[in-house]
Structure 1
């Protein structure tokens, strides 16, 4: 349920900071937190893409060694406090309510749980103009849609300058699809956060019904086909996670799709899936063909031993054909294409409040 953020006497500043990263993120987040002062007056929430292994609950410890603020693993139902850092745990989305944290096992988004987009949406819905979304280094485009939601609800958006990122895709796509307020080198983001922390929160815009429904998907594993019908139009694509039909999400600058149980994908994440699936199938077919070729040659050798040369020649010819098929599959695997991205704009590299 949506709760209108309270601005009290109008003195609330930007005090909710959501940071998302993937490849290269542990180093980037550690560096960023080292630059945030110990008297920082906001609450910081971090989603770093991780594997689902519970043994990887070490991120709060890693970040805590660099941070001037206390770092905690997010716990479902935990009340958060300003001046603290909260880190998403493996295999759970980190969602931010009015005063508490939720960790949910809702559907994956762009193959990720935790994912950036649900965290950003929750901050947008519950904190509106006081929320700040920050996208750091990472592959593909998780975070772009959620950053757009923060902007739609009156908050601020910052992207790491792609040239300073280990993996530039996430910030590049955030810049491409969202009207970000700042494109900053990594070492300039903490300063921008401190400036915003002293700046009055923006005017909160009531979230759209679509945004509320998308946030609800992250809260549950229940099917909601009627919501999907309201969220977009049926597409020809099947969900890579569950093979269900997908709907094109409307009112979003980034092409996005959801299935009836809530899995969410952008076009880039689906291209990534099909590339991986095609390669797996290619290696499987190559192995099968090579094995068939060896079997045929073994049969030919056996027939030669029995002095049935005509039959042996037939098996050798069949083996040659299968070998040619295997070579074609091998060449196809080597031709796997790279996905390119549009260059980010070079202007607006200094933070400015809009």
Structure 2
């Protein structure tokens, strides 16, 4: 009888050990999800409700088993609202740790340098995981960059971050401006920087282009920047055709062929590098520049040199069949 009792005891202990090991394995072992799965935790959602949703999504095998193990093995910290990416085969333990950490999926909306505000507006509206309406932002008020947002966040909240970033950046750069910068206010810096941004896509040229415009403004010479002709027509969108003579001669608040000085405001949202270029223009005697046919520009000090460079540019365009 003693021997039988010992055998029963041993068997009972083995069963208990097996059940305990299985219970622990169910908490720490691989989960059932075959692929990464997105889970949404709504504001105010309880762990019980979240567990049921996760069982339906296939990231845990049983909501009841998950909750039972969580009571024993996990802290009582609340889960946080947001969108979570649950890795394939994530354990119950790792899933709950993730939901309690608040490390939600980071989505990005990218605003390229020189994007006009009308396109920033369209970009925000096209982000399907953002919510609410938003007005077209003031031109030049958005700092081009990549901005993270959470699913369900308001478009206005994202725009507010973009505009705050521009304000902070402009304030910082304005304080460190060079003494020979021709612009007199931060607003003028934004306006000129937006022209520089649209005139060249070559980073090494920005300060030289800024230097040319700096020189022209100092002597009262017209800027004659093509993008300022286009802006009143399309609000910064591509024109899609050659500029007409009537548009070159049009008198408005932007066309720098028809007036001296700066336009009445920015024609795009300039990036940090273009603002820096305007506030630290290259020391150059150049007053002119024209495309070189290779993506950059040729700069010249005199009108005679410039006209010769323009002839070369037209010859390149004729060879390409563009004229």
TM category (shorter chain) comes to under 0.3
Structure whose residues are more often helix by fraction: 2
Larger strand fraction of residues: 1
TM-score, length of structure 2 as denominator length: 0.21
Q: Give the structure-1-normalised TM-score.
A: 0.19
